[in-house]
A = this chain, B = another copy of it.
C-alpha cells in the first residue's frame, strides 16, 4: 500500500461534536476540555462556532470559550463562522483560523443556510475577504459531498464546482464532508479522482461521519490517494442530524489506533486523547460510542471483577 508517513488530525469535537449534543456543557468545562486537548499533541482544534445561538444554543458561549482557553502556540484554534456578523465576533475572540461552510447540494444548502448555492457564494466571499484582511487563514467546509438527504447522490463534478468557487475566493483548505455518513470507499475514490487533478492533495481534508461504520475504510482509501488531513472528534461525538441516535464524526481515538498501527505518524499521544475523551464523557453524562472507549470501559470492569 502506498501510504503517507504522517497525517494531520483536526479535532472538531468542541464544535461539530458538541453542537449536535443535547446536553449543554458548562463554559468552564469546555475550557478545561479544550485545554486538555491542547496538551495531547493535536496541532488543530476547532474550538467553537459563531453561528447564531438561536440555531446552536450549545455553542452560545463561543467568545467566552475562546477567551478562556490557554493557547498552546503549537495549536491552531479555529472557529466556524456563517456570515460577516459571526466573523466580527470571531475576530474579537482572536481565533487563529476561520471556517466557513456550504453544501455541494442545493437541497441541503437551502435547508441549512436558507440560501441557494449561488446566493451563498457572495456571503462567504465577504467573510473570506474580511478574514484574510485580518490576517486569518480560512477553511471551507463543503457538506454532502457524496449524497444529500434531500437530493440523493451528489456528482463529484458538483463538488468540484463548489470547491473551485471557494478556492477562487482565497480559501486555504477545503474539508470535504460526508455529512450523512453514507460513503463507501469506491465513491470516495470517484470523488477524489475528480478533485485531485485540479486541487492536489495538500489543500483537501476529508471529514467522515461514521453513521454506517464505513469511515475508517473511507479514510484508508483517501490515504492511498494521497490525502493527509482528516477531521475527527473525540469519542465520535456529534451524531448525524439525519439519523438521530446513530453515531457522528469518526472518532479521533479509533482513527489514531488505526493510523499508529499502520505506522503512520500523527504526533498525538493516544493515552492523552483517551483521558481527554473520558473527561468530556463525564461532563456529557453519557457513554461515548467509540470502540476504544468501549475497550477502556471493558478493561475497567475487568480490573474490578
The reply to whether the CB of A134 lies closer than 8 angstroms to some CB of chain B is no
CB pair B184 A258 closer than 8 Å: yes
Q: Identify which of A219, A258, A263 gathers the most chain B CB atoms within 10 Å of its CB.
A: A258
Stretch at the interface among A89-97, A98-106, A288-296: A288-296
Q: How distant is the Cα of A263 from the Cα of B254 in the complex, in angstroms?
A: 27
A210-B291, A212-B254, A298-B244 known; A220 vs B261 contact (CB < 8 Å) = no
Q: How distant is the Cα of A216 from the Cα of B12 in the complex, in angstroms?
A: 24
Residue-by-residue, is A244-268 near B (CB-CB < 8 Å gives 1, otherwise 0)?
1111000100100110011100000
The reply to whether the CB of A243 lies closer than 8 angstroms to some CB of chain B is yes
CB pair A3 B245 closer than 8 Å: no
**Candidates B187, B245, B263, B295; contact of A298 at CB < 8 Å:** B245
The reply to whether the CB of A156 lies closer than 8 angstroms to some CB of chain B is no
Q: How distant is the Cα of A244 from the Cα of B299 in the complex, in angstroms?
A: 8
A186-B3, A220-B185, A263-B186 known; A247 vs B214 contact (CB < 8 Å) = no
**Candidates B184, B212, B247, B294; contact of A247 at CB < 8 Å:** B294
List B contacts of A263 (CB < 8 A): 186
The reply to whether the CB of A213 lies closer than 8 angstroms to some CB of chain B is yes
Q: In the complex, what residue of chain B is closest to A216 when comparing beta carbons?
A: B217
CB pair A254 B184 closer than 8 Å: no
A212-B292, A292-B212 known; A299 vs B186 contact (CB < 8 Å) = no
Q: How distant is the Cα of A219 from the Cα of B184 in the complex, in angstroms?
A: 12
Task: Please give the count of copies of this chain that the complex contains.
Answer: 2
Q: How distant is the Cα of A214 from the Cα of B182 in the complex, in angstroms?
A: 17
A186-B1, A186-B263, A217-B220 known; A244 vs B291 contact (CB < 8 Å) = no
Within 8 A of B (CB), among A177-214: 182, 184-187, 189, 210-214
Taking beta carbons and an 8 Å cutoff, which residues of A are in contact with B? Answer: 1, 3, 182, 184-187, 189, 210-214, 216-217, 219-221, 243-247, 251, 254, 257-258, 261-263, 290-292, 294-295, 297-299, 301-302
* In the A-B complex, the 8 residue pairs with the closest CB atoms: A245-B298, A217-B217, A213-B291, A184-B261, A213-B254, A216-B217, A217-B220, A184-B262
Can you add 10 more A-B contacts, CB < 8 Å, to A1-B186, A184-B258? A210-B291, A213-B257, A213-B258, A214-B216, A217-B217, A243-B295, A243-B298, A245-B297, A245-B298, A245-B301
- A–B pairs, 29, beta carbons within 8 Å: A1-B185, A1-B186, A1-B189, A3-B186, A184-B258, A184-B262, A185-B220, A185-B262, A186-B262, A186-B263, A187-B261, A210-B213, A210-B291, A212-B291, A212-B295, A213-B213, A213-B216, A213-B251, A213-B258, A213-B290, A214-B258, A216-B216, A243-B295, A244-B298, A244-B301, A245-B295, A245-B297, A245-B298, A247-B294
